[in-house]
Homo-oligomer: A and B are copies of this chain.
Amino acid sequence: MNLTEAIAKLDELEKSTYALNHAQSILYVDGDTVAPKNSWKGRGMALAYLTELAYKQLVNPETGEMLETILQHKEETDEVTFRKAELLKENYDEYNILPMEEFVAYQELTNESGAVWHDAKEKSDWDLFAPYLDKIVAFRRRFASLKDPSKPAYDVLLDQFEKGASMESLDPFFRTLREDLSPVIKEVAAREKPVPAFMKRPWSVHDQRLFSRKVMALEGIDPLNCTLGETEHPFTDSTNKWDVRITTHYYENDPFSSMYSVIHEGGHALYELNIRDDLQFSNLANGVSMGVHESQSRFYENIIGRSRAFCTPLLKIMKEVFPDQMKDITEEELYSAINLSKPSLIRTEADELTYSLHVMIRYELEKAMIAGDLKVADVPGEWNRLYKEVLGVDVPDHKRGVLQDSHWSFGGIGYFPSYALGSAYGVQMLGQMEKDVDVWTTVEKGDLAPVTAWLADKIHQYGSLKKPQDLLPAAMGGSLDAKIYTNYLKKKFSELYKL
């Protein structure tokens, strides 16, 4: 196979892979949003077959030869094509680890397990979900050991979500977070502020739906390219920059839960929506890693969405949609309300200060599960113990405890650390952004376009074309430094709580 033939073959494979991924992606989104509950069986059959097709078209000697040919001709290949081949080779190697039947069976397992997790969460019943997690853990361990027997299995899994992440780098990262933040969390807890009366007013789902649209508009999301669905657990899915889906979950007693889901998922969406046109419909048309992805979502959610400046445009649209509830509320009161900090049960609703410790707990549990030191049956007990030890809270049931997140149900073991890494990346990006953009003036005016343009320029546009290690230093002004993150949090919450 010569280079021209190899590039033609890559092009063809790209088209068919796009089609199969597109179909699978929409089946998942549909399954999680509007599909009837009993539809999992037929969907599972369809997904299994699509997985089988994807496997077959990727794992064959011809693909191997094509990839070798391109990768051996770096000099004569343009950057985009070379990077496509490089990324595809990673997939190819992974798919070659296990026979097709095992991949298909795993695919069916996670499809079913997603449905079971929903049910188990609703019923707060760990025993329903445990047999599935048992199988998922076994598969992930086996996969990791086959992929790279020289490394601890959990490092192999971490690397899948954030290239280069390992326990060696994450252990000290989380240690710094815990050491630096625990004293602040205690001080803040000692000065506990009451939940303001206005937050206890009822917030109809009907009005919250209208509010979501305004929040998306404020964030600069074009509804022609991105729609909002409703799910138990909010997520973002993208097939291309003209077809992005985000979801949220409404609670009648709290408008901020859904609002921050919308802003967070909207941040993921903006990343996908701003990827260059010429990378679309290829394997480069996705955010490059989960850490970088979470840096964007958490940037909008917290750094922008929980800033003092954001309270100006936010209060304005809240008064439009919720005139009764927001009557007489000032920006300052709103700022205080959206930054109430208190150790709590639910990660996605945690305040900015305590958030990373929720992630740390999951990191510790995953490490132990994958190392084989913690049995699935013992996970709830250990979860509850860590929540008490680290955050000082008692977990009343599994629904609000170990069953709250969907990640394990789809096999996302090793994913959680990305949330904390992303949060830290984002804070360092802010430092750089402030050199180029008058961030708080434009946010206060309700114009987030300059913020998004900066992120699009540094991060979004490239999709997966540039590796995290090529993107991040420029955007962050250096390498990861947990201290910058903890100092940001210490400063913000010292001011808020007058410590």
Q: Which residues of A are interface residues toward B (Cβ below 8 A)?
A: 15-16, 18-20, 22-23, 26-27, 29-30, 33-39, 41-43, 45-46, 48-50, 53, 206, 223-227, 229, 239-240, 242-245, 281
Instruction: Specify the chain B residue showing the minimal Cβ separation from A31.
Output: B26
Question: In the complex, which of the residues B16, B34, B53, B206 contacts A229, with contact meaning CB atoms closer than 8 Å?
Answer: B34
Query: How long is the Cα–Cα vector from A398 to B349 in the complex, in angstroms?
Result: 50
Question: In the complex, which of the residues B34, B50, B227 contacts A23, with contact meaning CB atoms closer than 8 Å?
Answer: B50
Taking the nearest CB of chain B, how far is it from the CB of A328, in angstroms? 27
Query: How long is the Cα–Cα vector from A37 to B226 in the complex, in angstroms?
Result: 9
Question: In the complex, which of the residues B23, B36, B244 contacts A223, with contact meaning CB atoms closer than 8 Å?
Answer: B36
Instruction: Specify the chain B residue showing the minimal Cβ separation from A24.
Output: B23
Known contacts A16-B49, A27-B26, A49-B19: A42-B243 contact under CB 8 Å: yes
Query: How long is the Cα–Cα vector from A207 to B34 in the complex, in angstroms?
Result: 19
Question: In the complex, which of the residues B30, B37, B226 contacts A224, with contact meaning CB atoms closer than 8 Å?
Answer: B37
Copies in the complex: 2
Check B36 against A33 for contact (C-beta < 8 Å).
no
Chain A interface secondary structure, helix, strand, loop or mixed? Answer: helix
Instruction: Specify the chain B residue showing the minimal Cβ separation from A48.
Output: B19
Check A244 against B36 for contact (C-beta < 8 Å).
yes
Query: How long is the Cα–Cα vector from A19 to B50 in the complex, in angstroms?
Result: 7
7 contacts between A and B (CB under 8 A): A22-B45, A29-B30, A34-B227, A34-B245, A36-B243, A39-B239, A45-B281
Check A42 against B227 for contact (C-beta < 8 Å).
no
Check B36 against A224 for contact (C-beta < 8 Å).
yes
By a CB distance below 8 angstroms, the chain B residues around A49 are: 15-16, 18-20
Check A35 against B227 for contact (C-beta < 8 Å).
yes
Query: How long is the Cα–Cα vector from A30 to B24 in the complex, in angstroms?
Result: 13
Check B281 against A36 for contact (C-beta < 8 Å).
no
Check B206 against A36 for contact (C-beta < 8 Å).
no
Query: How long is the Cα–Cα vector from A24 to B39 in the complex, in angstroms?
Result: 15
Query: How long is the Cα–Cα vector from A19 to B24 in the complex, in angstroms?
Result: 11
Check B45 against A15 for contact (C-beta < 8 Å).
yes
By a CB distance below 8 angstroms, the chain B residues around A37 are: 223-224
Query: How long is the Cα–Cα vector from A390 to B318 in the complex, in angstroms?
Result: 53
Check B242 against A38 for contact (C-beta < 8 Å).
yes
Question: In the complex, which of the residues B15, B22, B226 contacts A43, with contact meaning CB atoms closer than 8 Å?
Answer: B22
New A-B pairs, 19, CB < 8 Å, besides A23-B27, A38-B243: A18-B46, A19-B45, A20-B46, A22-B27, A26-B27, A26-B30, A26-B35, A26-B43, A30-B30, A36-B243, A38-B224, A39-B242, A39-B243, A41-B240, A42-B242, A42-B281, A45-B281, A46-B239, A206-B206
